[in-house]
Copies of this chain bind each other. A is one copy, B any other.
């Protein structure tokens, strides 16, 4: 689906249009990069084909056990309430991403992150209301749901809001309020968009990113969601993704990878002499707070994804989910501590925090096992893979500011595949699932990003990047009263 020449060439060229002084990377890296990108392309094409073949017979095995036949009123109340409470914690992840990202970037760009992320969250709420939800959940066939403007709540629930509860019986049979589901799903979309943001910080234009967010949350994410959770072909095929290891994290991470390549690395990140400029967090306290917020938010993310809280079995599942979620994060963190000490000779704070997040991502696709030590192992491997991917990305001269690709894409794919260990799903199904989702998202994101680049550009002017987006685009400073050391912007 891409003309010859390689994704990256086009990408770099487009970035260069606006960045005439950007020096070419040394030949050996360029080759490695080109090779790996070709690999990605080939794999994507293969998997998409494979997915398409598999999609047509659309294996009919039902993924979820049938809902308990007769839900009582109180079961309905508790299940719905649980979605609302856990949903509140997912909302909190918006603060987590905002703090993590704004603490990581140069101080001259921190205000922009704050505005951007609150905006992303707001945009996602509206697009999901107007378009996304219908596309993801309403009358989904094999591929997509309904293309209709504005989410319409269930009629009997609308009636209940007007004090007519006569028809509620049917709604209760569904297990939980459709409105509570809507809220929970909406909060997931916002998360996905935040993930993309993290890779492209410090040089992507505010309005371009917001425009991409519209497409991602209105179309790209909902289409993947329809395949996997809305009853589409992957769900029919038995694809296992409990809380979004693929739907949220692989999608977000893939869009981040493409976006990062389209926008190009920050000036000065990769120097002419082959060295890489270190860009440690500008505010470690804020970054750490962000990670801990995400950790807490993940409790809501994974526990709420069970959906039902009607029976003792449900609450046991939810308990296991939380235990495993917490253990995977802990072991992801500790594994990274040990690895980074062994490999790099020193404990890395950023890598350790990312290790915790990678542990969380790794367990997200299948966190219900009773053998909690599997969570320890899966999380630890996730942390290690994340560290290696961070190293590799840098070698490929891809500039991922917060490590969105290592944390969300790499650990997301790992976790989706690792689901075969603790559930009955087959590796083939998981491979098809993750492969086709990646192929779709990489392609769709690339098209959208290129369109945006054509129309309004994706990258800020060099001068704005130099002085920072806070002053350059917003006219404010994040810490106007603090004396800051000038960033060694020119050193490349």
**A125-B330, A182-B323, A376-B126 as given contacts; A309 in contact with B91, CB under 8 Å:** no
Cβ of A295 within 8 Å of any chain B Cβ, yes or no, is: yes
Could you say which residues of chain B place their CB within 8 Å of the CB of A346?
Answer: 474-475
Cβ of A138 within 8 Å of any chain B Cβ, yes or no, is: no
Cβ of A313 within 8 Å of any chain B Cβ, yes or no, is: yes
Cβ B476 vs Cβ A288 within 8 A: no
Cβ of A229 within 8 Å of any chain B Cβ, yes or no, is: no
Instruction: Please state the number of chain copies in the assembly.
Output: 3
Cβ of A370 within 8 Å of any chain B Cβ, yes or no, is: yes
Q: Which of A366-400 contact B (CB under 8 A)?
A: 368-370, 372-373, 376
Could you say which residues of chain B place their CB within 8 Å of the CB of A83?
Answer: 319
Could you say which residues of chain B place their CB within 8 Å of the CB of A470?
Answer: 284
Cβ of A16 within 8 Å of any chain B Cβ, yes or no, is: no
Which among B118, B291, B353, B481 is the interface contact of A487 at CB below 8 angstroms? B481
Question: Which of A98-106, A232-240, A260-268 lies on the face that meets chain B?
Answer: A98-106
Cβ B95 vs Cβ A312 within 8 A: no
Q: Which of A96-128 contact B (CB under 8 A)?
A: 98-99, 102-103, 106-107, 110-111, 114-115, 118-119, 121-123, 125-126
Q: Which of A315-341 contact B (CB under 8 A)?
A: 315-320, 322-323, 326-327, 329-331, 333-334, 337
Number of interface residues of A (CB under 8 A): 126
For A171, A206, A314, A475, which residue has the most chain B Cβ atoms within 10 angstroms?
A475
Cβ of A479 within 8 Å of any chain B Cβ, yes or no, is: yes
How many angstroms between the C-alpha atoms of A387 and B473 in the bound complex?
A: 20
**Interface 0/1 of A63-98, CB less than 8 Å to B:** 001000000011111101111110111011011001
How many angstroms between the C-alpha atoms of A151 and B115 in the bound complex?
A: 44
Say what secondary structure dominates the interface of chain A: helix
How many angstroms between the C-alpha atoms of A295 and B293 in the bound complex?
A: 14
Which among B81, B179, B303, B376 is the interface contact of A129 at CB below 8 angstroms? B376
**A74-B78, A284-B476, A284-B479 as given contacts; A179 in contact with B349, CB under 8 Å:** no
Cβ B179 vs Cβ A323 within 8 A: yes
Q: Which of A129-185 contact B (CB under 8 A)?
A: 129, 150-151, 153, 157-158, 160-163, 165, 168, 171-172, 177, 179-180, 182-183
Cβ of A446 within 8 Å of any chain B Cβ, yes or no, is: no
Cβ of A454 within 8 Å of any chain B Cβ, yes or no, is: no
Cβ of A60 within 8 Å of any chain B Cβ, yes or no, is: no
Which among B95, B121, B285, B333 is the interface contact of A110 at CB below 8 angstroms? B285
**What are 30 A-B pairs at a CB distance below 8 A?**
A76-B312, A77-B78, A77-B311, A78-B78, A78-B81, A80-B318, A81-B82, A84-B322, A91-B295, A91-B299, A95-B296, A107-B481, A114-B288, A114-B349, A115-B349, A118-B288, A118-B352, A122-B331, A125-B327, A126-B327, A126-B334, A150-B373, A160-B316, A161-B320, A177-B312, A179-B320, A280-B480, A283-B285, A283-B479, A348-B474
